[in-house]
Amino acid sequence: MIQKIDHIGIAVRSLAASKPYYEKALGLSSDGEEEVASQKVKTAFFSCGEVHLELLEPTAPDSPIAIFIEKNGEGIHHIAFRTNDIEGQLSQAKDAAVRLVHEVPIEGAGDKLVAFLHPKSTYGVLTEFCTPK
Ligand code: ZN
């Protein structure tokens, strides 16, 4: 079952360049940075009440985030829903004819398991399911 919106992923060229906006202009505080090798990104999380913002900086030219920025520029990349049953959520989506990016969950940032639904079958919104490990 989906429990809440966990975070909003935002693609940026540089964490160093973009973090001051969130810290100084918005007054949010960073929960630290982490590299996610499987996704070829460096992330920084900001708490905003119950929801987090996840800044994503590509670490390689073939990173999904590098490709996204190339195509769309910087900006909102995905919405992540927290679930207590990621496998069940994936099979529910699959049963509803949604195309899955990940058939099985992969390692995500913040010690979570994550899986994505393809934006071509979610009306343009790259959708992530995440669950704490
Ligand atoms: Zn995410």
Please, is 24 exposed, middle or buried when counting C-beta atoms within 10 Å of its C-beta (0-12, 13-18, 19+)? exposed
**pLDDT tens by residue, 16-67:** 999 999 999 999 999 899 999 888 999 999 999 999 999 999 999 999 999 9
Cα of 111 to ligand 1 centre, how many Å? 12
Distance 43 CA to ligand 1 centre (A): 9
d(CA 45, CA 34): 9
For residue 54, how far is its CA from the centre of ligand 1 (angstroms)?
A: 6
Total of domains in the chain: 1
CATH of the domain at 111: 3.10.180.10
The model scores a pTM over 0.75: yes
DSSP 99: P
- Say how many Å lie between the CA of residue 77 and the centre of ligand 1: 9
Instruction: Compute, in angstroms, the gap from residue 57 CA to the centroid of ligand 1.
Output: 12
| 3-state helix, strand and coil shares in percent for the chain, rounded to the nearest 5 | 30, 45, 30
What domain range includes position 52?
A: 2-132
pLDDT for position 72: 95
d(C-alpha 104, C-alpha 123), whole Å: 22
